[in-house]
Amino acid sequence: MSEDLNPTPPSPPSPSPPTKARSAGPSDFTDPVLRNEMKRAAVWIGMASIVVLTVFMAQPLLVIFGGLVFAAMIDGGARLLSRVLPLGRGIRVTIVLLAAVAFLAWTAYFTGSQLALQAAQLPAIIESQALRGVAWLELHGMAIKAADLQNIAQQALGGVGQLTRAVGGILGGATTLFLIAVLGIYIAVEPRLYQRGVAWMLPIGERNHFHGTAALMGKSLRRLMFGRLLGMVIEGVGTWLMLAIYGVPMAGLLGLLTGLLAFLPNVGAPISGLMMVLVGFSGGTSMGLYCIIVYVVVQTVDGNIIVPMVAKKTVDLAPALVLGAQLIMGALFGILGLALADPMVAMLKILLERHSSRHEDEWHEAAEAHAKR
């Protein structure tokens, strides 16, 4: 009876030999140092993967950023209209877009055929003037082969020819421009909608900081684009009038190219000036010297009046920084990257300044709290 009331406890089961499922796998690391290094390696591999993905997605990202830049230009025009026209935002945006379309239609209708004819003649004139310059250098003892330079000039003129054909009505990359325009219009009509959507994906504590950064970026981008458009108009119209007064051939085309290339700071001005001088010397030495004077006057007005005035109200960017970004973006992504390098650097600078200012404020608050203890 006692044996039934106090049964002997069963002995614990003997440990079974380790099976394949319980054995350590190739991703199991018992060494803490090795485990820490593997985590670091995973972080670096992840960052490298993000960079590679960004490179592959660079073209769509540039198109989206181009849409933001175009939206800032539309928004800036709508804000200017609000000072004189007490209308709704949608109506003001529509007026800006209609004004832009009307200007393009006027340019194509009244000057399209003439500019297209001049655009077809411009590459031949530039090439002939370059060869004349090489012949002059060879006459004075410079060892330069005209054939080699002619090949280089023809390759360079391929880009000029594309630009002039775009002016004449054959637009290169029409799909990209169309997507940028559509994105810009959508964003300009309802900018708050997209800003709230991006903020919603962020943590709650980061949303106010994001809204402040986005507002500062939008304000700076509007002013930067306004200054850029103002410089384009002044350079283009000024060049056209001064060349037309002297009777320089292709004055309208050169003025239009000068205005368009003014969108590319540090890069567009030398290109337009070189074309202007080469066309000028095709009409004689005095005309060539006059074109040099026109170029110097226009660039002096833009560089000493317009650019400083705009820089005081926008992001102050170092010229070497902008030029370096243009070289890199142009080499990686072509004309689109070159055109968007300046506003992209400006936005990155604002982002870094805001981030640094925020952490500086947090450091001061922590220091004050520590001092009170």
Give domain limits for the chain.
45-356
The pLDDT of residue 169 is 40
* Structure confidence by residue, pLDDT tens digits, 53-78: 777 777 888 888 888 999 988 988 88
CA-based torsion, 346, 348, 349, 354: positive or negative: positive
Q: How many CB atoms lie within 10 A of CB 351?
A: 13
- The beta strands (E) that lie in the chain are given as none
Q: How far out from the chain centre does Cα 185 lie? A: 18
* Structure confidence by residue, pLDDT tens digits, 337-372: 888 888 888 888 888 888 888 777 667 666 676 676
Q: How many CB atoms lie within 10 A of CB 37?
A: 12
The pLDDT of residue 135 is 67
What CA–CA distance (Å, rounded) separates 302 from 232? 9
The pLDDT of residue 51 is 74
Work out the angle at residue 335's Cα, subtended by the Cα atoms of residues 332 and 337, and round it to the nearest 5 degrees.
50
Percent of the chain past pLDDT 90, that is, above it, reads 0
The pLDDT of residue 364 is 65
* Structure confidence by residue, pLDDT tens digits, 91-100: 888 898 898 8
Integer-rounded Cα radius of gyration of the chain: 31
pLDDT confidence bin for 156, thresholds 50/70/90: very low
More confident residue, 27 or 195: 195
In this prediction, residues 311-333 reach a mean pLDDT of 75
The pLDDT of residue 104 is 77
Q: What is the dihedral of CA 298, 300, 306, 310, to 10 degrees?
A: 140
Flag whether pLDDT at 147 surpasses 60: no
**pTM of the predicted model, to two decimals?**
0.66
